[in-house]
Amino acid sequence: MTIEIRQLGRVDYTPTYAAMQAFTAARTADTPDELWICEHPPVFTQGLAGLAGHVLVPGDIPVVATNRGGQVTYHGPGQVVAYPLIDLKRAGYFVKEYVYRVEEAVIKTLAHFGVTGHRVAGAPGIYVRLDDPTAHALLPQRPQKSALGTAPDFTGLGKIAALGIKVSRNCTYHGVALNVAMDLEPYSRINPCGYAGLQTVDLSTIGVSVDWADAATVLSQKLATYLVP
């Protein structure tokens, strides 16, 4: 199994979303998997079950309704957006493992740049310690059996990567967004991923200077590696 990586550059969100849907609808059992890497002009995207109340003051930034999971998030310049278009049936793993593999690719990407990424129980995506982004100590709020059913605890953390997916006929689209060097102000206009007060960070604000292209290359390589069974 191989994945064809397509570098799309900066593209508008809505036609890219439509292209993912068209690709997924048209694909057959023999269609090669693809990984689309891009960035978007400023846009808020709302998940399928997203609550309007989480969009506070969008101002001049458009809000686009989508069919992915999750609540509202922001896309903008300086963020690497990755859309894996994967046939899970052919890959031989289920959605839960797919999410784990995508998150692991982000964690390994951050590690490449000297940052420790963390999972939080009950909250998809990847987080960093605000006081020490390089610390390797395990989070008390990491996913574990004892944390089942508890509300996510973001104490001391900033979200650096958001995840939102859709699976249709066992095939994935939408994906993951890694914040590299952004204007983070638009996150104050929403409750990120449905959590009021959740702090959002990028590599730049935690002291890591990385070119968008370099981050995009590493993330695409890690995804291509971790999504192969």
pLDDT (0 to 100) of residue 144: 86
All structural domains of the chain: 3-226 (3.30.930.10)
What are the start-end ranges of the H helices in 80-163?
88-91, 95-112
Residue count of the chain: 229
Q: Which helix (H) or strand (E) holds 165?
A: strand 157-168
Residue 38 annotated to the active site? no
Q: Looking at 20, 38, 165, 193, which residue is catalytic? A: 193
pLDDT tens string, the chain, 229 residues long: the values are 789 999 999 999 999 999 999 999 999 999 999 999 999 999 999 999 899 999 999 999 999 999 999 999 999 999 999 999 999 999 999 999 999 999 999 999 999 999 999 999 989 999 999 999 998 888 988 988 765 667 888 999 999 999 999 999 999 999 999 999 999 999 999 999 999 999 999 999 999 999 999 999 999 999 999 999 8
pLDDT of residue 147: 55
30-to-7, 27, 86, 87, 89 alpha-carbon distances in Å: 22, 8, 12, 10, 12
> Quick one: pLDDT at residue 38?
98
Residues 6+ apart with CB under 8 A from 46: 52, 55, 63, 64, 65, 66, 71, 72
pLDDT of residue 146: 63
* pTM as predicted: 0.96
